[in-house]
């Protein structure tokens, strides 16, 4: 759902902060939904799984301590009856649940120790580490035949140089050595890559510092990995914000890509990109190179923060990496040809983005969360726009919307649900088609809920749709933003 969550104390405060350009929406821990990306299969049964978090949930009386959950896939899609819930109070997990740790604010998946089971990296950017307030932590929860089990801490390479270690996570093999690496953002103007292999005793490979091209106001906003040039080495995409001139208020969102190489990321040659508050990578045009989708919910009408209602820029991949320039593959708003709906202020178009092949035709689709979209009398209820992929990129035909008002979708469109605050396209039923998982992060005043829809040859179907929240798991239905940071 939303990163920098300590500003999210009420729906009113959230909307106000969004308008001021202070919040980011996290899909930054997701990797591309293509054959080159890691697939979440924590129990190695062949079905994709989905991990999610409730980073603001109370655990053992500790407010905003947070927990994570895995819902396992099956032939009929996600099966909420088969799940694992983990907090820092779970046996075998390092640390302890403490107030404002926000365990689960960022997630990333990969087989980090090479044993055939997908592992889950979990960020807790509010964790106090000794006397380092909000220094942050990263924990790897290990996959096994029975699912996630036990955990190991990932050491912060420079704990005194930043806060918020684990505030944004992405996994990828950045040097092509066959071992998964883990990238973490911080609140400073740099990120780090911790190189594989990882072990349960806590050892890893070396580390690489990734310094942003400019001073970032709040550190790394969003982060994602994919292969934009088809060389089988993951590339890293980050967004951040810089301060505007002293006579202006607010900040300017910017993006950058670093290509992978045998020596690691080529940090000396940053590739400038459009800014954004959410990131996804995937092969929309089917040419073997990942595209980069950058969603930007900022709403001021100027060159700094995008268009009213939000914007999504899609950057084409190529043999030379991302092709940005003055004309992205697609520059989308709700006023664009083929995009359903109308372009209204503060809609939050681009609050989440995710890419995956829903219909199995070899072209990845693009799903866009419109987080604060009004539907009828319901304000800020939210919806998801689905746009088809094609040989020419994002297709301007056949787009559709999904909301809690869509026939067959569980629930109802209610004010301040924020349906689409996070979204994930991933195959959880082993049929070769990406299924759609959507978060309504503020459903029931911040409890949160998740909706699971199947992919099919004709696109997303509501047949067999499922919805679940903490109550489904036997957990308290209290404020927690259940469904934040979907990954799979």
DSSP string, 212-249: -SS--SSSEEEEEEE-SSSSSS-EEEEEEEEEPPTTS-
| pLDDT for position 456 | 97
For residue 252, give the H/E element and its range.
strand 251-258
Query: Average pLDDT of 359-382?
Result: 96
Average confidence (pLDDT) over 429-450: 97
pLDDT value at residue 328:
63
Burial class of residue 320 (count of CB atoms within 10 Å of its CB; 0-12, 13-18, 19+): exposed
Q: Are 121 and 38 in contact (CB under 8 A)?
A: no
Q: What are phi and psi of 7, to 5 degrees?
A: -85, -5
| CB neighbourhood size of 248 (10 A) | 11
| pLDDT at res. 131 | 84
> For residue 376, what is the DSSP state?
T
Predicted confidence (pLDDT) per residue in 314-357, tens digit = 999 999 999 975 556 889 999 999 999 888 888 999 999 999 99
In contact, 294 and 276? CB cutoff 8 Å: yes
Q: What is the pLDDT of residue 250?
A: 74
pLDDT exceeds 70 at position 389: yes
Contacts of 106 (CB under 8 A, 6+ apart): 3, 26, 28, 29, 122, 123, 125, 166, 167, 168, 169, 185, 485
Q: Is 382 within 8 Å of 440 (Cβ atoms)?
A: yes
Q: What are the strands, taking DSSP E only, across 301-434?
A: 311-315, 330-332, 349-356, 365-370, 383-387, 389-390, 393-394, 400-402, 419-426
Is the confidence at residue 88, as pLDDT, over 70?
yes
End-to-end CA distance of the chain: 15
Q: How confident is the model at residue 38 (pLDDT cuts 50, 70, 90)?
A: confident
CA-closest candidate to residue 357, choices 422, 290, 440:
290
Task: Give the DSSP letter of residue 133.
Answer: T
Average pLDDT score over residue span 240-245: 89
Q: What is the mean pLDDT of residues 14-28?
A: 33
- pLDDT value for 254: 93
Report the pLDDT averaged over residues 236-243.
Answer: 95
Which residue in 274, 406, 370 sits closest to 331, CA to CA? 274
What is the pLDDT, as a whole number, of residue 15? 38
Where does the pLDDT of residue 6 fall: very low under 50, low under 70, confident under 90, or very high at 90 and above? Answer: very low
pTM of the model: 0.92
**Gyration radius (Cα) of the chain, Å:** 20
Report, as an integer, the average pLDDT of 136-146. Answer: 98
Q: Could you tell me what percent of the chain has a pLDDT over 70? A: 89
Identify the band that residue 418 occupies on the pLDDT scale cut at 50, 70 and 90: very high
What was the pLDDT predicted at 326? Answer: 53
pLDDT digits (tens, 9 = 90+) for 307-316: 468 999 999 9
Asked whether the predicted pLDDT for residue 157 surpasses 90, the reply is yes
170-175: average pLDDT: 98
Task: Using alpha carbons, list the distances in angstroms from residue 23 to 225, 241, 278.
Answer: 21, 11, 11
């Amino acid at each position: 759902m939303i990163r920098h969550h300590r500003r999210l104390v009420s729906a009113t405060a959230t909307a106000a902060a969004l308008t001021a350009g202070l919040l980011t929406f996290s899909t930054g821990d997701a990797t591309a939904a293509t054959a080159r990306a890691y697939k979440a299969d924590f129990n190695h049964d062949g079905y994709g799984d989905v991990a999610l978090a409730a980073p603001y949930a109370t655990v053992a009386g500790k407010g905003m301590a947070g927990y994570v959950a895995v819902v396992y896939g099956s032939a009929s899609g996600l099966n909420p009856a088969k799940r694992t819930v983990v907090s820092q109070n779970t046996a075998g997990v390092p640390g302890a649940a403490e107030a404002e740790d926000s365990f689960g604010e960022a997630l990333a998946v990969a087989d980090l120790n090479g044993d055939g089971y997908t592992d889950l990296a979990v960020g807790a950017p509010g964790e106090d580490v000794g006397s380092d307030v909000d220094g942050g932590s990263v924990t790897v929860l290990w996959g096994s035949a029975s699912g996630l089990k036990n955990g190991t801490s990932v050491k912060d390479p420079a704990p005194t140089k930043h806060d918020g270690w684990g505030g944004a996570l992405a996994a990828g093999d950045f040097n092509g050595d066959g071992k998964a690496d883990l990238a973490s953002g911080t609140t400073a103007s740099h990120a780090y890559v911790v190189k594989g292999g990882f072990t349960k005793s806590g050892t890893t490979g070396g580390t690489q510092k990734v310094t942003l091209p400019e001073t970032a106001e709040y550190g790394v906003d969003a982060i994602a990995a994919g292969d934009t040039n088809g060389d089988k080495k993951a590339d890293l995409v980050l967004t951040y914000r810089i301060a505007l001139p002293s006579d202006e208020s607010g900040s300017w969102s910017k993006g950058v890509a670093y290509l992978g190489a045998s020596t690691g990321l080529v940090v000396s040659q940053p590739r400038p990109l459009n800014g954004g508050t959410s990131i996804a990578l995937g092969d929309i045009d089917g040419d073997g190179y990942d595209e980069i989708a950058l969603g930007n919910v900022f709403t001021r009408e100027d060159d700094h923060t995008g268009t009213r209602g939000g914007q999504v820029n899609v950057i084409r991949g190529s043999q030379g990496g991302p092709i940005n320039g003055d004309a992205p593959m697609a520059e989308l708003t709700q006023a664009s040809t083929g995009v359903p709906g109308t372009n209204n202020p503060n809609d939050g178009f681009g609050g989440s983005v995710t890419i995956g092949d829903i219909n199995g035709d070899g072209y990845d689709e693009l799903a866009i969360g419109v987080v604060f979209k009004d539907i009828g009398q319901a304000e800020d209820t939210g919806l998801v726009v689905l746009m088809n992929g094609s040989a020419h990129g994002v297709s301007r035909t056949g787009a559709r919307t999904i909301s809690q008002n869509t026939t067959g979708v569980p629930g109802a469109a209610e004010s301040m649900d924020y349906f689409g605050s996070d979204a994930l396209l991933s195959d959880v039923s082993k049929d070769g088609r990406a299924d759609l998982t959507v978060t309504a992060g503020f459903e029931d005043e911040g409890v949160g809920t998740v909706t699971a829809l199947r992919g099919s040859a004709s696109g997303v179907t509501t047949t067999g749709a499922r919805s679940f929240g903490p109550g489904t798991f036997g957990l308290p239905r209290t404020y927690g933003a259940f469904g934040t940071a979907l990954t799979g």
